[in-house]
Amino acid sequence: MHGYDYKFVQATPFTDRYNTWLKVRELGAALRHSYRFVIFTDGDIVFSRPEIPLEYLLSYWNISSSISLALAEDPDAGYNFDSRGRLNQNCGFIIAQNNAKTHEIMKDWLECPDGTRYEDCDHWKNNHYHEQGAFSNHVRYDYGDWIRTLPCDHANGAPEGGQGCTGKYVRHYWVSKDAIKPAVDETFMQSIFGKAHRQFVENLNETFWDHSSGMAQTGDGEA
C-alpha cells in the first residue's frame, strides 16, 4: 500500500429496508474500483492508536490475500449471539480486501433480505440488527475461510463499556456517544506529545530553556 484515498459518499437512501444497509451497498460499489483494501467505519469509531500504520494491523491480524472481510466480534453478552449460538460480528468497522470472492460475498449480503438464497433473511430488512444480523446469521456461514474474526478487545468497544472490549486499536463508541470527542482529543494529543517528547529527547544536547522568553530553544531557534 502506497498511500490512502479517503472518500466521503452521499448515498441515496433505501426505500425497502433500514438505511444501515447502505454500508453494504456502498462498500460493494467501492470495491469495484481498483483499491486493494476498502475500510468502512461507523461515525462512532475512533482509532485509538493512530501512530500504528494500518499495514501493521493488517499483518498483525493476519489479513492474508485469501481473506475477503475482517470484522470484530461483539461483546460476550446474551443479546449478541446469532441463531446458532455464535457471537455476532460487528459491522461498525469492516476491512474489505478486493478479490473475486469478496464481490461474491457482498452480492449475497446485499441480496440476503430478498430471501432468494437465504430463507428468512427478509427478517433483517428492518429489524435490529439489520445488515449485521443478516451477515452473522446467514452470509458468514457460507464463506467461513474468507472471513477473519477480529478479537472484540482489539477492534470493538471502549474502556468505558465495561464488557471486556476496550478497543485496543479500534474503539467503537456504541457505549456512549458523548465519549467520542474526549476520546479523539486524548488519542491525538497522546500521539502528538509522544512524538514531541521523542524529538526533544533525541535533541536533548542541543536544547535549552530560555528563561527570558519562557520558551524551549534549539540550535535552529524555537523548538
Residue range 3-40, pLDDT digits in tens: 667 666 678 999 999 999 999 999 999 999 999 999 99
Domain that holds residue 78: 19-175
- Name the residue with higher pLDDT: 58 or 198: 58
Based on the fold, state whether residues 45 and 95 are members of the same structural domain: yes
pLDDT band (50, 70, 90) for residue 142: very high
So what's the pLDDT on residue 162? 76
Question: Burial, 26: exposed, middle or buried (Cβ in 10 Å; 0-12, 13-18, 19+)?
Answer: middle
Give the residue from 61, 132, 68 showing the smallest Cα distance to 105: 68
| pLDDT, averaged across the chain | 86
Helices of type H across 93-167: 100-111, 130-137, 152-155
CA distances from 153 to 46, 106, 114 (A): 14, 26, 34
CATH number at residue 40: 3.90.550.10
- Give the C-alpha separation, 180 to 165, whole Å: 16
Based on the fold, state whether residues 28 and 117 are members of the same structural domain: yes
Over the stretch 67-80, which tens digit does the pLDDT of each residue have?
A: 999 999 999 999 99
Over the stretch 50-67, which tens digit does the pLDDT of each residue have?
A: 889 999 999 999 999 999
Q: How many other β-carbons are positioned within 10 Å of the β-carbon of residue 205?
A: 7
Q: How many domains does the chain divide into?
A: 2
- Give the C-alpha separation, 158 to 162, whole Å: 8
Does some domain include residue 213? yes
pLDDT surpassing 70 at residue 215? no
Does some domain include residue 7? no
Based on the fold, state whether residues 100 and 124 are members of the same structural domain: yes
Over the stretch 167-191, which tens digit does the pLDDT of each residue have?
A: 999 999 987 767 777 766 676 666 6
pLDDT surpassing 90 at residue 102? yes
So what's the pLDDT on residue 132? 98
Based on the fold, state whether residues 101 and 55 are members of the same structural domain: yes
Question: Burial, 64: exposed, middle or buried (Cβ in 10 Å; 0-12, 13-18, 19+)?
Answer: exposed
CA distances from 115 to 16, 122, 182 (A): 13, 6, 43
Based on the fold, state whether residues 132 and 103 are members of the same structural domain: yes
Question: Nearest 5°: phi and psi at 70?
Answer: -130, 130
